[in-house]
Structures are given as C-alpha cells and as structure tokens.
Amino acid sequence: MPENGCMPESCAFCGAVGPLTREHVFGQWVSRTGLDLAPMRHHAGPLNALPRDMGEQPPFRQTVKSFCGSCNNGWMSNLETVAQRVLTPLILDEPGTIAPEDQAAIATWVQKTALTAMLLSSKEQRENGYGLAPSEYRALYERRELVQPLDFSQFWVGRFEGVKGFSAVRVTPLTVRIPDFPEPPLPQGYAMTIVLGALLLHGVRFTTPGLQADTKTEMGMPQLWPSETSVMWPAGQACTETSLLALADGGTLRATGGEVRLQPWSHAAHLPQSAFENGAIKVPALCRKHDIYYPAALLQEAHQGRFYAFMTSCECSAYLIHTDSDRVRFRAAGEPEGIAAMYADLVGDEFLIEDQIGEFACKRLPA
C-alpha cells in the first residue's frame, strides 16, 4: 500500500493499476456536429434523490477520470470513430441507414457510454451503492475484440422530437416481474437511454442468468441489435419530452412471451410512498430531508387520466413536478428562476386551485 495509505487507482474497465486518463462521456466529436453549445446546467446521480449539481457549462464537456490510457486511446476510441461516422447525420435529424456491419459497434458504444455516464456520480453516491456492478465494466472490456455488447442485451434506435439539441444519458435498474410474486430484492437488469439531438438510442441488458426475456418496444422502433438487416432511420413512433421518462424507465418494453413484465426497481427509481395529510398529498422531496405538498384534487384528476405540472420547493431546491397515473414525477430540480422558466415554457392551460394549503397554480398537460 502507498505511504499515504490510499489504495492505487485502477481502470474501471480493464483493472490496470496506474495513472488514469480523462474520458468524455460523449466523445469530443459530438461537440463538432453542429448542436447548440450554449452553456446549460448539468446534473448527475440517483433517479429518486436530489442529483449532483455539476454547474453550468457547455454540453458534451463532462469527463470522468476512471480509465487507463490503453483503454481510452484503444478500443474505446475505436468505438467513438464508428459512432461519429454512423450517428452524426441522425443526430442532426437527417435520414440515414445503419448497416449490419456497424450495428454491433453502435450497440457497444451505447453500452460503453451508459457505463461511463454512471461514473459522473459523486464518490459518496457510489459508496452508498449507486451505479452498476464493476463486473459489467470488466465483461464489456473482455468483449472489446469481438466489438459486441454484453450477452442478453437488446437495442433499438428511434427519433427524439423534443427540445432541439437536447442530450441525456439515463440508466434505470429493472426487475423481471412475474404475476403473484413480490418484487425481487435486487434488480435483474437495466435499461439504457441516450438522447443526442434528434437521435434516441434505447437498450436493455439482463444481468441475472435464466431471467432474460426476448423484448420489444411498444413504440415500434427498429431493433438495432441483434439484427441482420439494415436499419432505416427514422422509423417507428417518435419520442417526445412527455414520453421520454416512461421510455427511459423501461415503460415501453414488453416481454414477447408469457406474462413476464419489466418494471423499474422501486428502491432505486421511486420515492417512498406518499401520504394524505391535512387535505393534501405529502411526498418526500428529492433531497430526502423535507416534504412537499400538492392538492388532493390533482390525485383525483390523475385517476381520471388528466395530468398536471406544477412548481414547488423545499429548503434545498426548487422542483418541477408532473403528475402521473400512479405517482408524481420530479422532472427537474434546481434554482427557482430556472424551474420557473421551465414551467413557463410548458404548453397547457393554467389553473388555480384553492384548498386547505392555500392557492396552488398548475398547468394541465396535453393529452
């Protein structure tokens, strides 16, 4: 052990001990595609807790110092070269084709990018169990010469029809649910979602042997991997800002046989149960230190299939929240001015509800 008592750092992929290099979550080529590079606020971290605020900075500049030079400048760089050539037109919303000989490399790039993005979280978050198992990184490294994603993985490619120039990486742990059986204590796979401009890439990886399921997406997106034919883009139903969260949570994935269902692992994806208190619905805030409240009338509206957006805040952060059929979803967290601007940009009629907690403003979301 070194004299300072610290363990030497090792590469997240190959395990080599020694100096580590910085790797961009999105390759540097993405910043040269022509997407908007205006500074924006970035966040990273758990799905059901206040994210790590990474400050305001130009997009596509986020890096992690977790890989050795051999991996960074070798097989990882080779994947970026293929991704740049194949994906640039699609990112810019230009129709294109992904040829069979490129599909395995693009699927591997999606998996590599998702694994890299998970390392943007803080050291404290990872020590508390956030992230993917180290074995996932090692297994992908061992397939570097095959240039194929991990076994029991499927990938689809679609079109994102939302904010121009938007980008995101989201990984959601999944469970394989069988009717009449309780939720498993640990996740059995994960969904990966990447948005770059007009391009949407979505995948699922099953990590528990024997529980993998042949899967399809309800949105009709063409399957990228495994596939033996050229993939034409765009095809299938476009994903919007409204439908993105449900897709990223695995909500559009369906097992093709039997009654097996895929659902987000509640311990990582959902907040603790809400409660009815003094005529309002109490929900734990993302900071896990405070609670927020909203009118019970919005819950009744959700049961009728009518959903709303509203702003609220606690001592730690302001929030933009959407109601859903079974819970509320925290769409954004940050400074009050930024949340207010996002709320103002939402399309929908605004309503003012008066109840025990006073006047409450909200917007009816389009159907």
Q: What is the pLDDT of residues 120-166, one digit of tens each?
A: 876 666 666 668 889 999 999 999 999 999 999 999 999 999 877 78
Highest mean pLDDT among 220-234, 250-264, 274-288, 334-348: 220-234
Asked if residue 266 has pLDDT above 90, the reply is: no
pLDDT for position 234: 96
Whole-number percent of the chain with pLDDT over 90: 51
Mean pLDDT of the chain: 87
pLDDT for position 48: 46
pLDDT, mean of residues 326-355: 87
Question: Is 190:171 a contact under the CB 8 Å cutoff?
Answer: yes
Q: Long-range contacts of range 316-321, CB-CB < 8 Å, 24 or more positions apart?
A: 316/50, 316/285, 316/287, 316/289, 316/290, 317/50, 317/285, 317/286, 317/287, 319/285, 319/286, 319/292, 321/292, 321/294
pLDDT for position 28: 94
pLDDT for position 3: 44
Highest mean pLDDT among 35-39, 80-84, 246-250: 80-84
pLDDT in tens, 7-56: 568 999 999 999 999 999 999 999 999 998 887 765 565 554 555 566 77
pLDDT for position 127: 62
pLDDT for position 2: 45
Question: Is 318:312 a contact under the CB 8 Å cutoff?
Answer: yes
